[in-house]
């Protein structure tokens, strides 16, 4: 299967990877959450080539994760801001951060701590069940294929 076809699989992870599945895209999204908005600031912070950055920003706009907003002082230049769809990626970034801090910190500890604004406390991301609110891990979850999966894998019948 070719990379540009991965989003056609009946798999939620494959669909997400078809949009988010490269390092530059995730780092652009991370920077957007850190308040970076302008092309030159993304480029300077990431050290990515202008061509690659332009390509990834265009794709994120097409996928409605970012929106282009003209600068107030100059209409031909744009800022890139997270849309509601983009903001919904935050738990993914927190989960990736937690995993990397747990397994890849080289004994140096976390480079960033996250503080919950409402209570003022530093927190660790936690996945919980939406029904009982108990913490969950991989051993406590059973995937069950839905009818949507079976519909997607059925060959289209010719009339």
What are 99-110's pLDDT values in tens digits? Answer: 999 999 998 989
Distance CA(20)–CA(5), nearest Å, equals 14
Neighbouring C-alpha atoms within 13 Å toward the C-beta of 56: 21
pLDDT of 73 strictly over 90 = no
pLDDT of 54 strictly over 70 = yes
Question: 3-class DSSP state for residue 146?
Answer: coil
Across 1-5, 42-46, 120-124, least confident range: 1-5
Indicate the class that CATH gives domain 3-109: mainly alpha
Using pLDDT thresholds of 50, 70 and 90, give the confidence band for residue 159: low
Residues facing 123 on adjacent strands: 114
Using pLDDT thresholds of 50, 70 and 90, give the confidence band for residue 93: very high
> Average pLDDT over the chain, rounded to whole?
89
Mean pLDDT, range 30-36, rounded to an integer = 96
Helix axes 23-33, 90-103, angle to 10 degrees: 110
Helices (H) and strands (E) counted in the chain, each on its own, are 7, 4
Distance CA(129)–CA(116), nearest Å, equals 20
The answer to whether 39 and 57 are in contact (CB under 8 A) is yes
Confidence (pLDDT) at 155: 62
- Exposed, middle or buried, 94 (CB in 10 Å: 0-12/13-18/19+)? middle
Confidence (pLDDT) at 131: 96
Q: Kindly state the DSSP code that residue 10 receives in the 8-state scheme.
A: S
Residue with the bigger pLDDT between 71 and 42: it is 42
Confidence (pLDDT) at 12: 83
Mean pLDDT, range 112-125, rounded to an integer = 94
Distance CA(101)–CA(81), nearest Å, equals 27
End-to-end CA distance of the chain: 28
């Amino acid at each position: 299967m070719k990379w540009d076809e991965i989003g056609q699989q009946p798999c939620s992870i494959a669909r997400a990877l078809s949009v988010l599945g490269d390092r530059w895209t995730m780092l652009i999204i991370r920077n957007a959450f850190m308040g970076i908005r302008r092309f030159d600031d993304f480029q300077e912070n990431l050290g990515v080539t202008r061509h690659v950055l332009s390509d990834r920003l265009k794709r994120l706009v097409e996928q409605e994760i970012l929106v282009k907003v003209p600068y107030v002082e100059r209409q031909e230049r744009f800022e890139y801001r997270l849309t509601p769809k983009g903001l919904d990626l935050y738990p993914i970034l927190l989960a990736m951060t937690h995993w990397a801090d747990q397994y890849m910190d080289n004994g140096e500890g976390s480079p960033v701590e996250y503080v919950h604004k409402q209570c003022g406390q530093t927190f660790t991301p936690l996945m919980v069940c939406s029904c009982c609110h108990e913490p969950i891990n991989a051993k406590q979850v059973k995937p069950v294929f839905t009818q949507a999966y079976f519909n997607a894998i059925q060959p289209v019948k010719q009339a």
